[in-house]
A and B are shown apart, each in its own frame.
Chain A
Amino acid sequence: MRWRVWFDRLLVLLILLAAWQGGSLWLGNYWLSAPWSVATRFFAALFNGEMVFHAGYTISEALAGSVIGGVPAVLLPFLLRRQPIVVAILDPFMVGGYGAPKLAFAPLFILWFGIGIESKIALVAAVVFFIVYFSTLSGVRALEPKLVQMAQVIGASERQVGRHIVFPGAVPAIFAGFRIAVPYAIGGAVIAELISSNRGLGYLVQTGAMNFDTTQVFVAILAATIIVHAFIAVIDLGERFLLRWRPRGAVLIADHGT
């Protein structure tokens, strides 16, 4: 049974690549770069250091922004755990910040921080903060009150409750938040580079399009896509390591009824 699924998928992949290559032959590389040219250029860029230069820049922006935005977003719900009134006061502002289009602030950040790396980091941080904040908050709120009571009964201090009960319980939610945030972090960095930059994958896309070099455009997009999936894979690995105690796959065996 399994091999048939993989065979089907391989078939779909071949059809997609064939259609892409065919489309490129028909329309010309100028309009639609061929998969073969993209692959060769991608590896060439990987080995001559060009890719490391640009992708490394984008990755640094995403990482720095994720740390600057993510760390306070994780800490805040824990610090405010015993302050429901403060959480309630903040609520409409956080909901507004979550709903507001952060990328619309890109021109403002460029105005403030210049076209260098700082404006991109600020944008990524703003995007990541709200996603991770709400995810962590939901994890802290979903906490089992009985576990807290149990800990209090056996004499745990407030700090110990936070460290041993609340934090482990919220870890899945924190990871979920970062996993959701990854495409936004990379996407935010790339869009800021598209608007104005002299380095990074967004810059590669922009200059590629300006020089009618679609291969370069596709190579840069491919690299960004790979980075997104690599980030998600790293987060999943980290989560799996931290959540060894969780019965994995148990949820998959859902009741399919009679």
Chain B
Amino acid sequence: MSSAEITSELSESHAIPRQWIVTAGRIALAVALLAAWEWGARAFGPLFFAPPLATAQRIVEMAGNGKLLTDTIATLRVSVLGFVIGCACGVSLPFLLRLSPRAAEAIEPFIMASMGIPKYALTPWLILWFGIGDAPKAIVVTLFVFYIVFITVFAGVRGVDQRLINMARIVGASERTIARKVIWISLLPFFFTGLKVALPRAVSAAIVGEFLVAVEGIGFSIERARQLSDTTGVFAGIVVAVTLVLIINAVVNALERRAMRWRPTDRDMQI
């Protein structure tokens, strides 16, 4: 996954193995970033930059008093709820549209146009409807996930090799069997691309939703810390949020590699 070798390899005549240079460079850069953070805290004062150590202490403290766990659970509860519903709709709609090409062609432009709606902006209106519970956030998460999964699965369903479908018909497969054993599996790469994008985004959407309406959760903690001018709390919350999303990213990537073993190579870039 790392680095391009399209440029000439003439410059690669170092005695030190390339991988060592890269690893050393990465460590150096990480240290430099931490140093810059620390320097920022000293230069701008603790109201603008919480020092790395204080941030780490705060996270340990949050882990100790259980707040980290309750916040994470609150955020994940909303994310997972929205993710499951959004996925279910995003996967089933393309299969439904397959049944009627005419309906698909009629509805498609509206789905595409509605994609441009800034979904977070619906939150205040959803709060009017559903109050300050999980529902408004879960709906926003659902919308995010739905569009991502729908677009990728729809492209996948359209891109299924018609020759494979014909082959399956000839050897006697029913349309249901074809949907399950040919179309579904051949769009799995698309589905995973969708999931890979959608799952971290579901968590981000839940966190941002919590900025606007919540009584608990990672986003709620960040926003409340900001309102209290508790910079360390803001930093700690953001570190937790970023870490959570990156962990989910890594898990989804690992799952995808497992499920896609039949593919010749892993051609996807990290995008």
Contact = CB atoms under 8 A, between A and B. Distances in A.
A201 B162 contact: no
B120 A135 contact: no
A66 interface: no
Contacts, number: 185
B259 interface: no
A206 interface: yes
A220 to B, nearest CB: 7
A84 B4 contact: yes
Interface in B1-49: 1-7, 11, 18, 21-22, 25-26, 29-30, 33, 48
A191 B120 contact: yes
A187 B120 contact: yes
Interface stretch (B88-96, B125-133, B172-180, B184-192): B125-133
Contact of A145 (B6, B115, B271): B6
A226 B245 CA distance: 30
Interface in A131-184: 134-135, 137-138, 140-141, 143, 145, 148, 183
Given A84-B3, A257-B163, A101 B117 contact: no
A190 B204 contact: no
Contacts of A220: 121
A214 B102 contact: no
B145 interface: no
Interface string A1-45: 000010011011100100000000000000100000000000000
By size class, the interface of chain A is 35 or more
Nearest to B117: A225
A189 to B, nearest CB: 9
Given A89-B29, A91-B3, A209-B127, A101 B242 contact: yes
B106 A195 contact: no
Nearest to A94: B270
A99 B245 contact: yes
B270 A103 contact: no
A104 B207 contact: yes
A208 to B, nearest CB: 7
Nearest to B201: A101
B62 interface: no
